[in-house]
Structure formats: structure tokens, C-alpha cells
Amino acid sequence: MVEFIDNPNQKNIIELRNIGQSYDGGNKWVIKDLDLVIEDKPDQGQFVVILGMSGSGKSTLLRYIAGLQEPTEGTVKLNDRPLGDDNRASMVFQQYSSLPWMTVLENVALALRYKGVSRKEREAQAMEIIKTMGLEGHEDKYAQYPSLSGGQLQRVAIGRSLLANSKILLMDEPFGALDIKTRLHMQDLLTSIWRKFQSTIVFVTHDIAEAVYLADDIYILQANPGQVARHIHVDLPLVRDRSTKRDPRFIELVHQVEDTMIELTEVVAK
């Protein structure tokens, strides 16, 4: 289990402490004594990837951070404060989550609408995000298939989340349903967004190569009960492109993560 050492001079952007999750009154714990602390890195942001076997609690952790689920025990904080209406993170799911009866522009601007921002102002801000996401010219289309492709629909969801809160972005296997060409393009788009907005991105995936390509840090969960079992720092250049995947260090890291995943699976099996 990874031990997180408190630093009184460190501000944490995301903090989960002593998390436990039981659905039967404590007879069985699917998550127990889990800690995950992500340090705030102003003017830089960071990219954190969570890996783990099925049932280890990866998606559940994102729901805690997003305020969509409360743990049975433990505390969840964002920006050193408890979750609240003015202290939440947005989440992008694997399933397309845009509202199909709204246009791209209306979907991206949705959070500002609920905040009471005037139509003129929210549409102006939304158009800036739409341009960043490479969706200019599609803003008046309804956010549904086949008007938009799968990759475009995920760009809409990412744009909506960025406008809601660009500081923290949660992503639960957002590229899982995309074809390989679109997935690779979305990986590069996401890294460019990270650098532009200097966000803290927490990303769940089953794809080890994708994890190494995107991440600053990888946290691997073990199951029964779910805990953070390993932390691997990805010591690759900050700016990455397709050639990074041919770097010997990239290949070495992929093998390291793969070996760690297999090791944890064998430990659980025993």
C-alpha cells in the first residue's frame, strides 16, 4: 500500500483519506483504508492515471471526487476543502453524455447557464472552448450521432467539463469506445489541453501504453479490498508525441507497469 506523507507546506488539490466502501453494512468492504493525495501544482497542473483490475474501485474513486457518490467512511476534499456546490470537479464518461436535444454550443455552455451567466457571455466563452476543441463550424449541430462522430461527441463532453471547471478534470475511460486512429488523436488533443489550461487531470484507463503516454504519475489499485498499491512516476519529457512511444524508456515503463499489474493480480489470487 502506498503511504502518503503529510507536508505542512503542501497544498493538496485532491485528497482522499481512510476511504472505505461497503454495500452491506460493513460485512464486506470493496474499498478499505484507501488514501490518495494529489498535490496542487499551480501554473503547471498534472496528469494522474489510475490503473487496476476490474473491481478495484477505479471508477468509484472518480465518483467520490466528482461528488456523485459518498464513501461509507473517510473524507474527500478538493482544494483543501470539503466538497460543495462551489467546490466540485467535472467528469467525462466513456458513454457519450451530451444532451442530444441541445446543440454543441448549448451543451458546452450548460454549466454557465446553471450558474446564471447571461446568454451572450456564456456563448462567447463556450465558443472559445469550441475552437480549442477543434469543433468550430459544428456549434449549431445537435450533439448526437450521426450528426457528430464519436470523437467529436467526446470533445463536446470535454469542452463542457473544461468550462465548468478547468482546474480539475476527471475522465473515466473516455476513449474506450473510439477507433484506434481517433483514440490516438484524442490522446494528443488531451495533452495539448492539459498544457494550455494547466489542469489537474485524473484519468482512468485499462490501456497501459495509453497510461504511460499520458501520465505524470500512475497509481495502481489492487482489489479485495480496493487500495492504492503502487505509485510509478513517469519520467518522460513533458511534451510528448508519437515518437515518444518508440523511446526505449517508454517501452521500459510499459513493461514495468505491466509486470506490476500482473504481480498484484497474483497476490490477490493467493
Q: Using one digit for the tens of pLDDT, what is the confidence trace for 142-198?
A: 999 888 998 899 999 999 999 888 899 999 998 888 889 989 999 999 988 888 889
Considering the four listed CATH numbers 3.30.70.1450, 1.10.10.10, 3.40.630.30, 3.40.50.300, the one that applies to the domain covering 43-68+86-269 is: 3.40.50.300
Query: Hey, what's the cell of 82?
Result: 470539503
Domains of the chain by residue range = 43-68+86-269
Does 268 score more than 70 pLDDT? no
The residue with cell 463536446 is 156
Q: Which residue has the higher pLDDT, 95 or 79?
A: 79
Of the listed ranges 4-18, 142-156, 188-202, 215-229, the least confidently predicted one is 4-18
Cα gap 234→70, rounded to integer Å: 30
Question: What would the pLDDT profile of 98-138 be if each residue is shown by its tens digit?
Answer: 888 999 999 999 988 888 889 999 999 999 999 999 999 99
Supply the pLDDT for residue 69: 93
Per-residue pLDDT, averaged over 199-217, amounts to 95
- HSE-CB for 107 with a 13 A CA cutoff: 28
Express each pLDDT in 20-29 by its tens digit.
999 998 899 9
